[in-house]
Structure 1
Amino acid sequence: MNEPSGQNSSSHQRPDDNNTKEWKLIEKVLLDVQGEQRRTRRWGIFFKFIFFIYLFSLLWLVRVPTEGLEKTASDSSYAAVIEVNGVIAADQDASADAIISALRDAFDDESALGVILRINSPGGSPVQSGYVYDEIKRLKQTREDFPVYAVIMDLGASGAYYIAAAADEIYADKASLVGSIGVVGSGFGFVDAMEKLGVERRQYTAGEHKGFLDPFTPENPEEKAFWEGVLKVTHKQFIEQVKNGRGDRLKQSPELFSGLVWSGEQALEMGLIDGLSSSSQLARDKMGTEELVNFTYQPDPWEELVSRLGASIGQGIATQMMQQMQLGGQAPQLR
């Protein structure tokens, strides 16, 4: 009788032991999770610390060249250099706002002997180029003894040459590419491809010709003629500004305004440039100084940092989408 009683007592204790083991296991898991969270927080703090060190170091490196430039600029007279690099457009480094800001700073600086526009650009927006051209002409009236020279490096074509034409004199290397005085508006047509793929285009507009540059609809001869007329008017404006800037120095030739591009030596013969020279040589020969100070507009360090980290990607995509919606990607370009 006693033996069964002992067996029952042992069997009653086993569930308690199991419960204890389960609680210990749960406690261990919770402690492990808590420890992992602490380690994660520590690593998070560490990486944030590294990021801020990187951030402040980058800002310091961005500031150093500017401070050095300002210190050099106050020591003696010099030639003010303004870079015109890349595509000329509102959202690029070579925008009218950036170039005009640099020009105004140079004209306001009493230590500057003149401006050298150092150009390396395939062209771009006729509007942006026109803004810069007009501002150079206006600034020249405020300080008539302040020369403006343009030096074309590898490429000074179309809208870039438009800007150069406002300078007192234009120089280039013998192998530079100069000219391309023309206007282009290009795009693609996908009508046949859509038919083969079985894709239906649905576009809703208000205005008879609102979608006339749409690449997914057949080209209309009337709208094509209209668009070519727009390009011709823009080309005529371009030609008039080049003639105003260069005057009698231009050689009369039917190919001069055809959109062709020439080497520096050929451009000299055509009257598109005044000589073969570099920025440093021009500063010595024309301004009597060895010192060149870069007045090119530099973006705010925070602005530049955000751009490098990719925060402007969304804005760029949105801009491109709007351009495609409004003009079918065929806005006229001076190229």
Structure 2
Amino acid sequence: MSKQLRPMLKVEKWLKRAFLPGMRTFRPSAVAIVITSPGGSAAQSELIHQRVRSLAQQTGTTVYTFAEDVAASGGYWLMCAGDEMYSTATSLVGSIGVITAGFGLHRVLEKYEIERRVFTAGKYKDQLDPFRQVKPGEVERVQELLSDLHESFQEVVRSTRGNKLDTSNEDDLWSGRIWTGRQAAKLGLIDSVGTVESVCKQKFGEKTVFVQCGEPPRAGLLDAFGARAPLSFGQMGWSQGSAYQAATGAAQGFLDEVEYRSMMARYGL
């Protein structure tokens, strides 16, 4: 998720293009949304989820959501925008929970005899300031916020999955655990195991045509060294990009790889 542009604003144009292609002679049979995300802002997840459902209702279009590598936490919240939800057998799905984290650095200031001066208007404005000790009651207030966000998340899952959920051990569902795609299917967190291509061709036939609505693949680190030819998406289809695209995409490709590895490390993989 981009730090420079809020996720909702970033995906809005692609959602409109998917649901409202702007051509009278063409209407999609369905919209398939492929998700790889370890999570993010609860508010942005909610906004995108609501926007997908709004466009689906407005156009009468069925939505299928698919998890690739990871659809956890906010990523799973997005999956719940689908009328039907799928993942690969080895995808990581779930993590229905809320987290916040920080550091306690007040001892560092004490060690180096640094005096920090903070001025506020509002009793709780400096809540959980990392440069001072935790005040009495702060943990409880933060926990109240997290619990309320957690309840909102659970409500979305319950309203989406309904009686499909295996509630024999309901506390485990809301514990923040992640599951593989196969495990998630058994728990009712997804409908079944499948890929976007296999599911859509099964539903709409082998001649199903997929129209991509999203960011085109960027050139990666290997492209800068000529390991593979970069691609760009034009009006006539896929074509080779320029060496300039490879060079400018190399840094972003490296950052994407770092982000991906960090995401996997988060779940001990």
TM-score by length of 1: 0.60
Distance 2:4 2:159 in 1: 28
Partner of 1:282: 199
**1:238 deviation in Å?**
0.8
Partner of 1:239: 154
Mapped contact 1:122–1:157 kept (Cα < 8 A) = yes
1:269 partnered with 2:186:
yes
Q: How does 1:130-141 map to 2 (within 5 A)?
A: 130-141=46-57
Q: Deviations over 1:44-81 (max 9, x none)?
A: xxxxxxxxxxxxxxxxxxxxxxxxxxxxxxxxxxxxxx
Distance 2:4 2:166 in 1: 35
Distance 1:117 1:191 in 2: 45
Partner of 2:85: 170
Give, as a single letter, the amino acid of the residue that structure 1 aligns with 2:12. I
Give, as a single letter, the amino acid of the residue that structure 1 aligns with 2:4. D
Q: How does 1:13-162 map to 2 (within 5 A)?
A: 87=1, 91=4, 95-109=7-21, 110-144=26-60, 146-162=61-77
Unaligned runs of 5+ in 2: 217-244, 250-269
Distance 1:117 1:224, change over 3 A: same
**1:208 deviation in Å?**
1.8
Q: What is the DSSP-based 3-state SS (H/G/I as helix, E as strand, rest coil) of the residue aligned with 1:209?
A: coil
Q: What is the DSSP-based 3-state SS (H/G/I as helix, E as strand, rest coil) of the residue aligned with 1:218?
A: coil
Mapped contact 1:101–1:297 kept (Cα < 8 A) = no
Give, as a single letter, the amino acid of the residue that structure 1 aligns with 2:133. P
**1:98 deviation in Å?**
2.5
Distance 1:91 1:248, change over 3 A: farther
Larger Rg, first or second structure (1 or 2): 1
Give, as a single letter, the amino acid of the residue that structure 2 aligns with 1:91. Q
Give, as a single letter, the amino acid of the residue that structure 1 aligns with 2:197. S
1:260 partnered with 2:177:
yes
Q: How does 1:160-309 map to 2 (within 5 A)?
A: 160-252=75-167, 253-288=170-205, 289-297=207-215
Distance 1:123 1:232 in 2: 17
**1:297 deviation in Å?**
4.8
Q: What is the DSSP-based 3-state SS (H/G/I as helix, E as strand, rest coil) of the residue aligned with 2:124?
A: coil
Mapped contact 1:90–1:128 kept (Cα < 8 A) = no
Distance 1:91 1:249, change over 3 A: farther
Distance 1:135 1:90 in 2: 20
Mapped contact 1:182–1:235 kept (Cα < 8 A) = yes
Q: What is the DSSP-based 3-state SS (H/G/I as helix, E as strand, rest coil) of the residue aligned with 1:127?
A: helix
Distance 2:35 2:98 in 1: 19
Q: Deviations over 1:243-264 (max 9, x none)?
A: 1111111110220011000011
Equivalenced residue count is: 213
Larger RCO (CA within 8 A; separation ≥ 6) = 1
Give, as a single letter, the amino acid of the residue that structure 2 aligns with 1:95. P
**Regions of 4+ moved over 6 Å:** none
**1:97 deviation in Å?**
1.9
Q: What is the DSSP-based 3-state SS (H/G/I as helix, E as strand, rest coil) of the residue aligned with 1:254?
A: helix
**1:222 deviation in Å?**
1.2
Distance 2:193 2:155 in 1: 25
**1:214 deviation in Å?**
1.1
Give, as a single letter, the amino acid of the residue that structure 1 aligns with 2:44. Q
Deviates more, 1:272-281 or 1:97-106: 97-106
**1:137 deviation in Å?**
1.7
**1:139 deviation in Å?**
1.6
Q: What is the DSSP-based 3-state SS (H/G/I as helix, E as strand, rest coil) of the residue aligned with 1:292?
A: coil
Distance 1:103 1:234 in 2: 25
Higher helix share: 1
**1:269 deviation in Å?**
0.7
Q: Deviations over 1:213-259 (max 9, x none)?
A: 21001101212211110111111111101111111111102200110
Q: Deviations over 1:80-105 (max 9, x none)?
A: xxxxxxx4x6635x811222321222
Mapped contact 1:283–1:292 kept (Cα < 8 A) = no
Q: What is the DSSP-based 3-state SS (H/G/I as helix, E as strand, rest coil) of the residue aligned with 1:105?
A: helix
Distance 1:137 1:220 in 2: 42
Counting aligned pairs with the same residue, the percent is 34
Distance 2:117 2:96 in 1: 38
